[in-house]
Structure 1
């Protein structure tokens, strides 16, 4: 039993080290610049990447709470006051919405809809609570493994999670904010390139690698 316990502690330590390494590389990329990602050509409309972090999608306006060479606009609340209503073609947020409280997310999504033009697309990627539960049970009900994905790294001011989502909850929330045609999406199919963010990154555990994200898009179908 002593050997099993030591093995378990070792595995947990390795997982923590891996997560910390990924986080550190991303933070270093933010401050040192990031190689650009060239997505497939779209309609040429105004595209906004909110909470861009180290991801530098060419042709998109990158907005983040922290400054970096590729960030065009620094903003914490993402009110998008700099953009006219019904002017934006696409908005993308990856593992950002959960950093706002459940009291705020409805207002935020309604504002995104206001900024999108008719036919505009909102793409979201968030931690999927149902998948986190699967990871939790598959790894012997080990809360430590999902703690960061569930509650955020909590290592700097903005890295705290305040909302949780699964497919049903997010689809319902989007519908209540006036969006239509909710559907799950795949990173390469939508962007034509690997972005290197959580929308396509698996979660490695002692029991294997698991998907962790819920990718959902929605349309502003009418004014």
Structure 2
């Protein structure tokens, strides 16, 4: 069992990369500066119900579908009832539409290289490739299978928490922004 840090932090950021969010315990598969727990998010072993919040910005698409299922179940287990999981993923149908539009000669809001990098990952370091693609219905199914039933969508969920990334302010940078809350009375 992974012990919680001696501080009162009860918030975990998985896949923080080189931009750890202040006031979170930080996890990544790479030992970047500021990472507290190096390893896979589905293997983090905090006690059941020990976290108030989990954050994953630009992470889920870097996992295989099986790894996502295991990560969602693990996040649900570690969250206390009423705790929330905030994350975003590229909205694959929109990005695929940009590819079709580009090759049909229509204008798109990004270079085609940017579009492909969003679909397949920027591949700047090991683990920076994308291994799964998402749309809201698929996310709903996976989150419900992990035990989440209270699902909300929209960029304001993250903005209202004080989180910011350039993509949050560009609607054409199509991402699905989600808050999945563990219902009170839900088992780990």
TM range (shorter): 0.7 to 0.9
Structure 1 equivalent of residue 18 of structure 2 = 54
**Equivalent position to 1:86, from 28, 49, 57:** 49
State how far apart, in whole Å, the 1-side matches of 2:146 and 2:40 are: 21
Mapping 1:15-164, distance limit 5 Å: 46-81=10-45, 83-141=46-104, 144-164=113-133
Which structure would you say has the larger Rg? 1
Structure 2 equivalent of residue 188 of structure 1 = 159
| RMSD over aligned Cα atoms | 2.2
State how far apart, in whole Å, the 2-side matches of 1:127 and 1:158 are: 16
Aligned residues: 170
Is the 8 Å Cα contact of residues 180 and 220 (structure 1) preserved in structure 2?
yes
Greater helix percent: which structure?
A: 1
- Going from structure 1 to structure 2, the CA distance change for 1:218 and 1:116 (only over 3 Å counts) comes to same
Q: Deviations over 1:74-133 (max 9, x none)?
A: 22344212x111111111111111111112221221111111111110111111112213
Shift of 1:157: 1.6
Larger displacement relative to structure 2 (158-167 or 144-153)? 144-153
- TM superposition score normalised by structure 1: 0.68
Shift of 1:153: 2.0
Unaligned 5+ residue runs, structure 2? 1-7, 106-111
Is the 8 Å Cα contact of residues 97 and 126 (structure 1) preserved in structure 2?
yes
Q: Secondary structure of 2:49's partner? A: coil
Structure 2 equivalent of residue 213 of structure 1 = 175
Q: Secondary structure of 1:57's partner? A: coil
Q: Deviations over 1:143-192 (max 9, x none)?
A: 64421111112342211211110111111211111101111132221x23
Q: Deviations over 1:50-80 (max 9, x none)?
A: 1111323221111112223322222234421
Structure 1 equivalent of residue 146 of structure 2 = 177
State how far apart, in whole Å, the 1-side matches of 2:31 and 2:175 are: 26
